[in-house]
Amino acid sequence: EAQVTQNPRYLITVTGKKLTVTCSQNMNHEYMSWYRQDPGLGLRQIYYSMNVEVTDKGDVPEGYKVSRKEKRNFPLILESPSPNQTSLYFCASGGMGTQYFGPGTRLTVL
């Protein structure tokens, strides 16, 4: 089954404690992306990747890092999380047509 998976689905953490949210896709897509979604603001892109070892900043990259060492995986790293990073995070992959989204990770930073 074609899908995008994310882990964990829910995470409560404390300020400053490094965390990684994993994302994996099995559709052999070159393009992958991370978004955060906050009430009233819609989806905002954090980082995207056009292919292995190629990543670029989206609209809200501050406080985040990504890596793309393999085509299928695109982890999101928060080196020192802060409360303003409390949000719903989505990973997506896609071709020229549609984007396929993972189920989301709800992150709370205390």
CB nearer to other proteins: give 61 or 104. Answer: 104
Q: What is the nearest approach in angstroms of other proteins to the Cβ of residue 80?
A: 27
Spell out the residues 6+ positions from residue 26 whose beta carbon is closer than 8 angstroms to its own.
2, 3, 72
Which residues lie near other proteins (CB under 8 A)? 31, 33, 40-45, 48, 50, 56, 58, 88, 90, 94-104, 106
CB nearer to other proteins: give 53 or 56. Answer: 56
Q: What's the residue count for the chain?
A: 110
Question: What does the alpha-carbon distance between residue 107 and residue 55 come to, in Å, rounded to a whole number?
Answer: 23
